[in-house]
Chain A
Amino acid sequence: MAEETLILLDFWPSMYGMRCRIALAEKEIDYEYREEELHLWKKSALLLETNPIHKRIPVLIHNGKPISESRVIVEYIDESWKDKSPVLLPSDPYERAQARFWVDFIDKAFYDPARKVWGTKGEEQEAARKQLVQALKVMEGVLGNKPFFGGDSFGFVDMAMIPYNSWFHSYETFGNFTIEMECPKLVPWAKRCLQKESVSKSLVDPQKLLGFVVEMRKKFGLE
């Protein structure tokens, strides 16, 4: 069998990168992780070559062929290694559509307000906090009393949402709210997810991330 090469271009704090790391770990697929120094506003030649349109991570390079956009990457991993368990997306078409819908919602509803909660102040930050809490409450409602978004087992939606767990500490610190107070069901859900090795080794330490956020805030003149 021809030797396969698999490279993930990533940036350690990225929640989009984390989802790809989790997917690869779930399937126990070996790959080379390459860190992009985005905090220094540096992008490697390989990143610019493999994602010329968006110039952003994550990018998965499989036998020299690049795949970008984290949702696309995760589905690609599921399809290319479909004989390796676990299957990442539900097999039922309706359940798949639901999972895709909620991952799309997470991507639309979280990034912008989350970024503003730690990256701005005053009225802009307050408006962002309200939006972020609202989005978290929606997801708490979707989880309901299930152990995972995927039902009995960890799935596509869990994979998309859990990387935010590393960021919760930073949002709480600068947004002046707690997940415990606003959407308590997400706390035991996160603990359940972190019990999985694929998750715990792919997520970054919240304290380390907070340090990164403080540095970024200094660069933006907020500290």
Chain B
Amino acid sequence: MAGDAVKLLGAWPSPVVMRARIALNLKSVGYEFVEENLGNKSQLLLQSNPVHKKIPVLIHGDKPVCESLIIVQYIDEVWSSGPGILPSDPYDLATARFWAAYIDDKWFPSLTGIAKAQDDGAKKAAIEQVSEGLALLEDAFRKCSKGKTFFGGDRVGYLDIAFGCFLGWLRVTEKMNGVELISRSKTPQLAQWAERFCADPAVKDVMPETDKLAEFAKVLFAKFKNPPSQ
């Protein structure tokens, strides 16, 4: 089963697609990356994810797996001989899952809220919300890392992947709004972690360059007046 061909349907700017790529890289699993044009979704995407019609979709053999965090867990379970991605202790795992859900349900929407803000007042409030979330995540890092390099300990793990994938868009937001969201003064642990995460061999080739992403964002925002949806 682990030997079957792996295909990943995705798009280079998508942070949640990056989650799957990082997980596959951590396990040294070769895969075919299929770049989707989200304005013109492929038949394969529509067939493999008929419910949400979204990327990423991992196709292992002929079986599709959807939803980025579900894909990461699947990768960890199938390629179990590779380095572990999910924490092995049930409580640490529950904590990681809790924060991953928080990032998806609350924190990332607050980040896109900055781009959606209609006026300066709304923008300021949105930035404040993101900063509050980052303060919580700074605290979470202290507790989860237990003095080590990553949320997952010595290695990039589930929560590093769940959160770190948004660093590209976070930097674009900082650049476009002239603000510092993660910084050595406000969030010292996260600032250090962010550098190490982006430099990790499993991450650095799949994390888009900030300038390239910023150009993409400008075009996208001009077209849709909305942040990208997967």
Contacts and interface: CB of A to CB of B under 8 A. Distances in A.
A binds B: yes
Q: Is the interface of A mostly helix, strand, loop or mixed?
A: helix
A93 B78 contact: yes
Interface string A131-158: 0000000100000000000000000000
B74 A97 contact: yes
B73 interface: yes
Interface string B50-87: 01000000001001011100110110011000000000
B94 A72 contact: yes
B80 to A, nearest CB: 9
A189 to B, nearest CB: 20
Given A72-B97, A138-B51, A97 B90 contact: no
B102 A53 contact: yes
Contact of B74 (A62, A65, A94, A138): A94
Contacts of B202: none
B91 interface: yes
Contacts of B77: 93, 96
Contacts of A176: none
Contact of B66 (A76, A101, A138): A101
A69 B74 contact: no
The interface size bin for chain A is 20 to 34
B221 interface: no
Given A69-B101, A94-B65, A76 B94 contact: yes
Given A69-B97, A79-B93, A53 B136 contact: yes
B98 A67 contact: yes
Given A53-B102, A69-B101, A105-B51, A97 B94 contact: no
B141 to A, nearest CB: 15
A93 B93 contact: no
A101 B134 CA distance: 28
Nearest to A142: B51
A100 interface: yes
Contacts of B60: 94
Q: Which of A62, A73, A79, A94 has the most CB of B within 10 A?
A: A94
Nearest to B74: A97
Contacts of A76: 90-91, 93-94
A68 interface: yes
B65 A97 contact: yes
Contacts of A72: 94, 97-98, 101
Given A65-B91, A75-B93, A75-B94, 20 more contacts: A67-B91, A67-B98, A69-B97, A72-B97, A72-B98, A76-B90, A76-B94, A79-B90, A79-B93, A93-B74, A93-B77, A93-B78, A94-B63, A97-B65, A97-B71, A100-B67, A100-B70, A101-B70, A104-B67, A138-B51
16 contacts: A65-B91, A69-B101, A71-B97, A71-B101, A75-B93, A75-B94, A76-B90, A79-B93, A80-B90, A94-B63, A94-B74, A96-B73, A96-B74, A96-B77, A97-B65, A97-B70
Closest 7 CB pairs of A and B: A93-B77, A79-B90, A76-B94, A97-B74, A67-B94, A72-B97, A80-B90
